[in-house]
């Protein structure tokens, strides 16, 4: 299928079991024309901006499952959207090996739109960010939510600005030489407004998932459900000009095909790279601790370019907060931090007490920049009962930032952490279906009650839960916030100046109690999390970046809870 024909013109739709499909517009009903393999098209093209729906065998009106825009709700009509001839200038950008920044459009600014977020792009450029990662943008029920319950991966949520808003955001980013990564969900669709199964056998009981029947991507002789997901991904690259996709929870994609969905996507994206003449990046969120995810398809792997590594987050979090409950338990091992920095995965075949089984495989010599690491992200903050940020002092947060930004991995900053925001990011929704809304609220309370959070867990359906997650931009301009932003900016500049993503730069980590030293060759990070000060000699001709530390002559003193970055000019 021509990706430009989707959701516009003759609005093709796949409905193989229907004996009649009608196009419903304000002018009435018009029978569509049957084509091969269960496809239907309108007899004449619809003008751009036309509201329309489909009726299968005289049934109720249904939105187009491939529409770019659902202007009123996930239950209402679709609107045709014709993509521009070109997404605009497509500069060479750095995704993996650079510095990524994750944001949620609905809470990044008070306006909660792509247009408002675009106004902050110069700030992110000045910070040193190279690629902006947007949490899911597909249409979902209600106005506000995390976006992981989207019902149409071809669409852009109307309250965010729809497809035109995304095109404008990407153009603004590219004008600043910033890349754009979209968080795309291919493992399930949301529970409200999901009419996809009424059009055809898109789901199958052969696969069971936490969300119900799995997507039918592996039925022999039935390519359309599989192509539905593949085309949604390719369209973001080809039509919108996106530079990278972060593929959500790929371990939850159930596919028994000889060629896995991810492998086929990798091959298609490689082909598209040749056609477009620019680099396209696929990043998998996988908790399997297995580098087969980023091993080429020709070598039996999934062919992704990069993958998230939660073990790095967990080891940092435990080292700096001391928390050791749940999946953090194993990372209370004093050697955990060294192991993840030097060997990538903590669980590399070792026993995971949380999973109650051996987990993962050794990473070997894989280039470390292919692993995305963070000290905060939407999951690790939002999946806490109160959605609270790490309980760290400014000095501790600065030290953790130094450990992350000067690491060999691709660092990801979660919105607001660069000024040490305390604004929570609790899970929030705005489902209009009363039964689903009630189940989500009760389920959230029940989940955290079992973890000891008996009272006070915010109700996802309460509008205040969303409102409290909106970033506090005035705090970024306060003296304390500005100091932290400046510190982040300097760390990122050191990362770039000393090419710390290069595989030629060594990584060695030593930890003794609360004293941590990260050795990156010409750059060293010294952290003191103990309650007593420590000191060491400043190497000759070296410079320093300090937080709660001091230098007198050639003597460096680290006060309790402090960091010193030492680098050779």
**Contacting residues for 202 by C-beta, under 8 A, at least 6 apart:** 196, 215, 216, 225, 228
Cα 12 to its chain centre, rounded Å, is 30
State the CATH class of domain 3-80. mainly beta
Cα separation, 380 vs 546, whole angstroms: 28
DSSP secondary structure string, 176-217? Answer: TT-EEEEEE--S---SSS--HHHHS--EEEEEEETTEEEE--
Q: Kindly name the residue from 64, 141, 149, 248 that is annotated as catalytic.
A: 248
Secondary structure of residue 359 in the 3-state scheme: strand
Cα separation, 548 vs 426, whole angstroms: 31
- Check whether 343 is labelled as a binding-site residue: no
- Check whether 464 is labelled as a binding-site residue: no
Mean pLDDT by 10 residues, the chain (569 residues): 92 98 98 97 98 98 98 98 90 96 98 98 98 98 98 98 98 98 97 97 93 94 98 98 98 96 98 96 97 98 98 98 94 98 98 97 97 98 94 98 98 98 97 96 85 78 98 98 98 98 98 97 98 95 97 96 96
First-residue to last-residue Cα distance in the chain: 55
- Check whether 214 is labelled as a binding-site residue: no
pLDDT at 447: 83
At 323, list the tokens: 């928390």
pLDDT at 452: 63
- Check whether 192 is labelled as a binding-site residue: no
- Check whether 360 is labelled as a binding-site residue: no
- Check whether 248 is labelled as a binding-site residue: yes
- Check whether 438 is labelled as a binding-site residue: no
State the CATH class of domain 508-567. mainly beta
- Check whether 548 is labelled as a binding-site residue: no
Q: What is the dihedral of CA 143, 122, 88, 137, to 10 degrees?
A: -20
Active site residue 285: yes
- Check whether 519 is labelled as a binding-site residue: no
Same fold, 100-498 and 508-567: no
- Check whether 326 is labelled as a binding-site residue: no
pLDDT at 480: 98
Cα separation, 206 vs 213, whole angstroms: 8
- Check whether 104 is labelled as a binding-site residue: no
CB 257 within 8 A of CB 218: yes
- Check whether 312 is labelled as a binding-site residue: yes
Q: Kindly name the residue from 141, 243, 285, 290 that is annotated as catalytic.
A: 285
Cα separation, 455 vs 437, whole angstroms: 19
Helix and strand numbers (H, E) in the chain are: 15, 26
CA distances from 242 to 80, 401, 450, 493 (A): 21, 28, 41, 25
pTM (whole model) above 0.85: yes
Per-domain residue ranges of the chain: 3-80, 100-498, 508-567
Cα separation, 219 vs 253, whole angstroms: 14
State the CATH class of domain 100-498. alpha beta
DSSP secondary structure string, 380-411? Answer: HHHTSTT-PPP---HHHHHHHHHHHHTSSSEE
- Sort 126 into a burial class: Cβ within 10 Å, 0-12 / 13-18 / 19+: exposed
């Amino acid at each position: 299928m021509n990706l430009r024909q989707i959701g516009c013109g003759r609005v093709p739709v796949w409905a193989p079991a229907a004996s009649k499909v009608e196009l419903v517009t304000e002018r009435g009903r018009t029978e569509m024309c049957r084509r091969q393999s269960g496809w239907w098209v309108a007899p004449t093209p619809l003008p751009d901006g036309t509201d329309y729906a489909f009726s299968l065998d005289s049934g109720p009106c249904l939105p187009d499952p491939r529409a770019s825009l659902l202007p009123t709700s996930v239950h209402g009509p679709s609107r045709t959207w014709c993509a521009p001839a070109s997404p605009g200038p497509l500069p060479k950008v750095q995704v993996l090996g650079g510095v990524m920044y994750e944001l949620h459009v609905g809470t990044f600014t008070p306006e909660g739109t792509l247009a408002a977020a675009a106004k902050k792009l110069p700030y992110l450029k000045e910070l040193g960010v190279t690629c902006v990662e947007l949490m899911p943008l597909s249409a979902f029920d209600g106005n506000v939510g995390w976006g992981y319950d989207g019902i149409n991966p071809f669409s852009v949520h109307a309250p965010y600005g729809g497809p035109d808003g995304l095109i404008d955001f990407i153009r603004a980013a590219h004008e600043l030489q910033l890349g754009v990564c979209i968080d795309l969900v291919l493992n399930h669709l949301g529970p409200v407004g999901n009419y996809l199964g009424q059009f055809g056998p898109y789901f199958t009981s052969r696969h069971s998932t936490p969300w119900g029947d799995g997507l039918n991507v592996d039925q022999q002789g039935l390519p359309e459900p599989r192509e539905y997901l593949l085309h949604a991904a390719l369209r973001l690259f080809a039509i919108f000009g996106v530079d990278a996709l972060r593929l959500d929870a790929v371990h939850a994609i159930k596919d028994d095909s000889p060629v896995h969905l991810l492998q086929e996507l990798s091959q298609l994206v490689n082909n598209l790279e040749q056609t477009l003449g620019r680099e396209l990046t696929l990043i998998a969120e996988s908790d399997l601790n297995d580098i087969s995810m980023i091993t080429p398809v020709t070598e039996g792997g999934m062919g992704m370019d990069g993958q998230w590594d939660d073990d790095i987050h967990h080891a940092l979090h435990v080292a700096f907060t001391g928390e050791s409950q749940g999946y953090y338990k194993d990372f209370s091992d004093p050697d955990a931090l060294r192991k993840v920095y030097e060997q990538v995965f903590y669980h590399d075949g070792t026993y995971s007490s949380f999973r109650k089984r051996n987990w993962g495989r050794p990473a070997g010599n894989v280039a470390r920049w292919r692993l995305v690491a963070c000290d905060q992200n939407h999951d690790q903050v939002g999946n806490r009962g109160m959605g609270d940020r790490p309980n760290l002092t400014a000095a501790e947060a600065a030290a953790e930032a130094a450990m992350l930004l000067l690491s060999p991995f691709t660092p990801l900053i979660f919105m607001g952490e660069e000024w040490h925001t305390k604004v929570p990011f609790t899970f929030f929704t705005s489902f209009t279906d009363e039964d689903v809304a009630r189940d989500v609220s009760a389920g959230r309370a029940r989940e955290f009650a079992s973890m000891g959070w008996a009272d006070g867990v915010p109700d996802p359906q309460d509008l205040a839960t969303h409102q409290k997650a909106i970033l506090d931009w005035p705090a970024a301009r306060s003296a304390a916030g500005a100091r932290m932003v400046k510190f982040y900016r300097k760390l990122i500049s050191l990362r770039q100046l000393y090419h710390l993503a290069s595989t030629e730069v060594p990584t060695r980590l030593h930890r003794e109690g609360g004293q941590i030293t990260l050795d990156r060759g010409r750059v060293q990070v010294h952290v003191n999390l103990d309650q007593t000060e420590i000191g060491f000699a400043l190497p000759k001709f070296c410079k320093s970046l300090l937080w709660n530390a001091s230098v007198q002559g050639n003597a460096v003193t680290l006060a309790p809870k402090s960091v010193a970055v030492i680098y050779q000019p």
